[in-house]
Amino acid sequence: MSEPRWAPVDSAAVVTDSPHWVALLDFDGTISHQDVTDGLLRRFGRPGWQTIEQQWEEGLIGSRECMTRQIAMLDMTLPQFYDHLSSVTLDPSFTAFLDVVSARNIPVTILSDGLAQAIAFILQRHGISGLPIYANQIELQGESSWHLRTPYARPECGPASAHCKCSQLPSSRRRTLYVGDGASDFCVAGKADLVFAKGRLADYCKAQGIAHHPIHDFNDVVVHLAQVDVATVP
Ligand SMILES: [Mg+2]
Ligand SMILES: [Zn+2]
C-alpha cells in the first residue's frame, strides 16, 4: 500500500454520545502483539538506549523522560519507520471486539503511551480506521532523527508518564471499560469500572486488589461481553 501523507494524527475528537459506557484501550501489547517503540529501538536505537530503559524499569524515571530520551536516540529514516510498522501484527480477535462494542453503541478510544502515527498506520494497514487515538507524537527532524512530543503529559502525573492516562477518564456520567496489559495502564485501571487485564497489568491488579478480568486476548473480552449486559455491571 502507499504510505500515508506524513501528518500528526487528529486527536481532537472527544469521547461522546454514549449515555452509559465507553471503551478505552491500550495499544502496544494489547491490540498489537509487539511493543512498537521497543521494536524500533532494538532495530534503530543508537547505543545506550537500554541504559535508559533500565532506569525506567527500576522506577528511577517515568515514561515521559524515558521515551523522550530514547526517541531522540533513534537513527531511522521514514521508509525504515514504515517498514518496521509493516511487521507489526494485531490480535486477530480485535475486529470481533470492535463489532461487539459497535453493536452496543459503545464508542472506542485508544489511549496509548506509544506513538500515535505508528498506531494509525498499523490500524489502517489492517483495515481499521476512524478510532480516536490519544498518544504521543513523533516528529522527523532531518533525514533520520526524531523528537517526541507528549501532548497528554501532566505535571501532576504520579508515575510521570509521557501520556498521563490517569487523567483521561471521561465525565462521571459515563462508565469505563478498559483493556490493557502493562505499566502505562496501572493508574487508569484503578479508576475504570470494568477492567480486562493481561500481562503485567493483571499481576498489578491482583496485587493491588483491583477488580479485573484476566484475559489472554480480545476473544476473552468478546466471550465475557456476550455473557453480561454491561448496563447491569455494578
Ligand atoms: Mg501496553
Ligand atoms: Zn498520570
CA of 1 to the centre of ligand 2 (A): 37
pTM over 0.85, yes/no: yes
pLDDT at 17: 38
- Helices 49-57 and 63-71, axial angle in degrees (round to 10): 170
- Helices 63-71 and 36-44, axial angle in degrees (round to 10): 40
Do residues 17 and 173 touch, judged by C-beta distance below 8 A?
no
pLDDT at 141: 97
For residue 69, what is the enclosing H or E element? Answer: helix 63-71
Burial 99-117 (b: 16+ CB within 10 A, else e): ebbeeeebbbbbbbbbbbb
| Grid cell listed for 147 | 523528537
CA of 46 to the centre of ligand 1 (A): 23
The CA radius of gyration of the chain, in Å to the nearest whole number, is 17
- Ligand closest to the CA atom of residue 154: 2
pLDDT at 227: 83
pLDDT at 4: 37
106 φ, ψ to 5°?
-95, 115
- Ligand closest to the CA atom of residue 160: 2
pLDDT digits (tens, 9 = 90+) for 101-118: 998 889 999 999 999 999
**Cβ-Cβ contacts under 8 Å for 113 (sequence gap 6 or more):** 28, 63, 67, 135, 136, 161, 162, 163, 165, 184
pLDDT at 7: 34
231 φ, ψ to 5°?
-65, -20
CA of 64 to the centre of ligand 1 (A): 15
pLDDT at 211: 95
Do residues 150 and 164 touch, judged by C-beta distance below 8 A?
no
Pick from 40, 178, 14, 200: which is nearest to 117 by CA?
40
pLDDT at 20: 81
At residue 3 the predicted structure's pLDDT band, cuts being 50, 70 and 90, is very low
The answer to whether residue 166 scores a pLDDT higher than 90 is no
Cell 459497535 belongs to: 102
30 φ, ψ to 5°?
-110, -60
CA of 178 to the centre of ligand 1 (A): 12
pLDDT at 202: 97
C-alpha to C-alpha distance for 96 and 180, rounded to whole angstroms: 17
At residue 19 the predicted structure's pLDDT band, cuts being 50, 70 and 90, is low
Across the range 34-59, mean pLDDT stands at: 97
Residue 137's DSSP bridge partners are 149
Do residues 184 and 63 touch, judged by C-beta distance below 8 A?
yes
